[in-house]
């Protein structure tokens, strides 16, 4: 049985190589399609991963621990959702190895004045030591980052600084509404100018040390605890642990992907684009295989008639053509995967210079991620498409009358 199996595939191989030029063109179209699919999918995956990490490390963190409904209603009255600045005992007593750091945040807004110019701002009060955990996702364009040694220094977003004409060392005045409803002001020095991935944020944002913000707002409380993990893939795992640990009536645990509307819409957009690419490539493969199989059948009508005259069943003839299609699909798929992996490695080492996307301030050097799942999905797509493309020509070959087929080559 095993010998017959290999003999059948050897015969399929001989039939495929009977017309080498046609077979090579068909395999080439398959290789081109699968390379295009893997490279496009890999580039989009890399871009989405980078966008995800920049979004997490520049603003959101992996998980936020806040009061219930803070993200739904806190913009109207943020002072109604303040919570104690002491880390919840459930977190201090519960060691979760996946957590890298937990840092406090206090959000506020008001007016910033420099010279004769006054505009509104949104402020984030942070612990200056958090920058060692968040890396360089928030880039300091000039000057220095916040430090505990300089409590009356702030850093301003690039757009905000340009609007006021701020330079390092300039003095500004912040006017805010305190928690009790009064008005307070403080004079601060511009320590640095930063940008993040979001231009809209940079146009309005500034950051100050959290102790200074608490004095300015006349409160000892904060709005949220930002949880940073060792790996983004651990988000759901830690989310479940925190939900099981923290009392739901006091705290709401919110993952980063519930807060990043831009990232979620980008994922949806690019997912549809990848499906369109897959559909186009599937059509290219189907047309190539169908054309080759139809031509092969037209050239081998006499051979098919002889085979049927010898008593070979129609389903065996169909299996023979399917083996040929499968052989071509697998060969093209494997060669395409190898070539795609090689090109992905070369392109990633060279890099793809890209301009800043809409709404962002930074360009980037693109790379290509090739995952095992992507390779398997691409190979399956090619093989399945090849088999589907061979169905009609193969079925048509068995509809030929034996007498007409035997007379075909005369």
Half-sphere exposure of 168 (CA within 13 A, CB side): 11
Of 237-251, 301-315, 339-353, minimum mean pLDDT range: 301-315
Domain finish residue from 250, 284, 313: 250
The pLDDT confidence band at residue 156, using thresholds 50, 70 and 90, is very high
Q: Is residue 63 part of a domain?
A: no
Do 98 and 126 fall into the same domain?
yes
Do 74 and 33 fall into the same domain?
no
Do 294 and 389 fall into the same domain?
yes
Do 277 and 367 fall into the same domain?
yes
Q: Is residue 61 part of a domain?
A: no
Do 226 and 196 fall into the same domain?
yes
What's the sign of the alpha-carbon dihedral 300, 305, 309, 315?
positive
Cβ atoms of 386 and 326 closer than 8 Å: yes
**CA of 75: how far to CAs of 35, 283, 407, in Å?**
47, 49, 84
Do 323 and 199 fall into the same domain?
no
Domain extent, residue 366, equals 2-54+263-407
Do 157 and 219 fall into the same domain?
yes
User: Mean pLDDT throughout 358-371?
Assistant: 74
Task: Give the distance, in angstroms, between the CA of residue 371 and the centroid of all CA atoms in the same chain.
Answer: 13
Domain count of the fold of the chain: 2
Do 234 and 328 fall into the same domain?
no
Largest CA distance in the chain: 103
Q: Which residues contact residue 261 at a Cβ distance below 8 angstroms, ignoring those fewer than 6 apart? A: none
User: What's the confidence (pLDDT) of residue 216?
Assistant: 92
The pLDDT confidence band at residue 249, using thresholds 50, 70 and 90, is confident
Q: Which residues contact residue 160 at a Cβ distance below 8 angstroms, ignoring those fewer than 6 apart? A: 112, 119, 121, 166, 202, 203, 204, 205, 206
Asked whether the predicted pLDDT for residue 44 surpasses 80, the reply is yes
Q: Is residue 277 part of a domain?
A: yes
Q: Is residue 369 part of a domain?
A: yes
Q: Is residue 59 part of a domain?
A: no
Q: Is residue 273 part of a domain?
A: yes
Question: Which residue did the predictor score with more confidence, 274 or 209?
Answer: 209
Do 275 and 376 fall into the same domain?
yes
Do 233 and 188 fall into the same domain?
yes
User: What's the confidence (pLDDT) of residue 54?
Assistant: 80
Do 151 and 221 fall into the same domain?
yes
Cα–Cα distance measured from residue 112 to residue 279, given in angstroms and rounded to the nearest whole number = 53
Residue 159, class by beta-carbon neighbours within 10 Å (0-12 exposed, 13-18 middle, 19+ buried)? middle
Do 167 and 35 fall into the same domain?
no
Q: Is residue 382 part of a domain?
A: yes
Strands 63-66 and 139-143 come out as unpaired
Q: Which residues contact residue 39 at a Cβ distance below 8 angstroms, ignoring those fewer than 6 apart? A: 340, 343, 344, 347, 368
Asked whether the predicted pLDDT for residue 333 surpasses 80, the reply is yes
Q: Which residues contact residue 385 at a Cβ distance below 8 angstroms, ignoring those fewer than 6 apart? A: 282, 285, 286, 289, 329
Domain finish residue from 250, 273, 293: 250
Cα–Cα distance measured from residue 223 to residue 208, given in angstroms and rounded to the nearest whole number = 15
Helix H, strand E, coil C: the string for 192-254 is EEEECCCHHHHCCEEEEEHHHHHHHHCCCCECEEEEEECCHHHHHHHHHHHHHHCCCCCCEEE
Q: Is residue 255 part of a domain?
A: no
Half-sphere exposure of 169 (CA within 13 A, CB side): 0
What's the pLDDT tens digit per position in 157-204? Answer: 999 999 999 999 999 999 999 988 889 999 999 999 998 877 888 899
Cβ atoms of 261 and 6 closer than 8 Å: no
């Amino acid at each position: 049985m095993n010998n017959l199996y290999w003999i059948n595939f050897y015969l399929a191989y001989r039939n495929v190589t009977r017309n080498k030029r046609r077979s090579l063109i068909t395999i080439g179209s398959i290789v081109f399609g699968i390379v295009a699919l893997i490279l496009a999918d890999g580039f989009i995956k890399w871009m989405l991963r980078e966008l995800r990490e920049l979004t997490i490390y520049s603003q959101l963190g992996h998980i936020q621990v806040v009061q219930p409904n803070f993200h739904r209603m806190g913009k109207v009255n943020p002072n109604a959702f303040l919570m104690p600045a002491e880390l919840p005992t459930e977190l201090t007593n519960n060691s979760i190895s996946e957590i890298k750091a937990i840092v406090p945040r206090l959000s506020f807004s008001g007016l910033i004045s420099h010279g004769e110019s006054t505009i509104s701002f949104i402020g984030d009060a942070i612990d200056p030591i958090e920058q060692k955990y968040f890396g360089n996702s928030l880039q300091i364009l000039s000057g220095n980052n916040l430090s505990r040694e300089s409590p009356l220094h702030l850093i301003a977003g690039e757009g905000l600084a340009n609007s006021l004409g701020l330079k390092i060392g300039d003095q500004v005045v912040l006017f805010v509404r305190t928690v009790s409803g009064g008005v307070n002001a403080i004079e601060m020095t511009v320590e640095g100018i930063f940008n993040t991935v979001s231009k809209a944020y940079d146009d309005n944002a500034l950051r100050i040390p959290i102790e200074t913000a608490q004095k300015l707002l006349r409160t000892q409380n904060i709005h949220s605890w930002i949880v940073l993990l060792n790996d983004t893939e651990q988000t759901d795992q830690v989310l479940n642990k925190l939900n099981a640990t923290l009392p739901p009536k006091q705290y709401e645990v919110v993952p980063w992907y519930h807060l990043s509307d831009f990232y979620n819409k980008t994922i949806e957009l690019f997912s549809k684009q990848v499906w369109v690419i897959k559909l186009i490539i599937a059509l290219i493969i189907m047309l190539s295989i169908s054309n080759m199989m139809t031509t092969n059948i037209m050239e081998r009508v006499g051979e098919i008639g002889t085979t049927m005259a010898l008593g070979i069943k129609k389903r065996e003839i169909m299996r023979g053509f399917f083996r040929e299609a499968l052989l071509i699909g697998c060969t093209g798929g494997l060669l395409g995967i190898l070539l795609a992996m090689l090109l992905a490695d070369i392109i990633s080492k060279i890099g793809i210079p890209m301009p800043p996307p809409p709404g962002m301030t930074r360009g980037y050097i693109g790379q290509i991620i090739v995952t095992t799942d992507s390779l398997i999905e691409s190979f399956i797509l090619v093989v399945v498409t090849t088999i589907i493309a061979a169905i009609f020509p193969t079925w048509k070959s068995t509809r030929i009358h034996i007498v007409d087929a035997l007379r075909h080559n005369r």
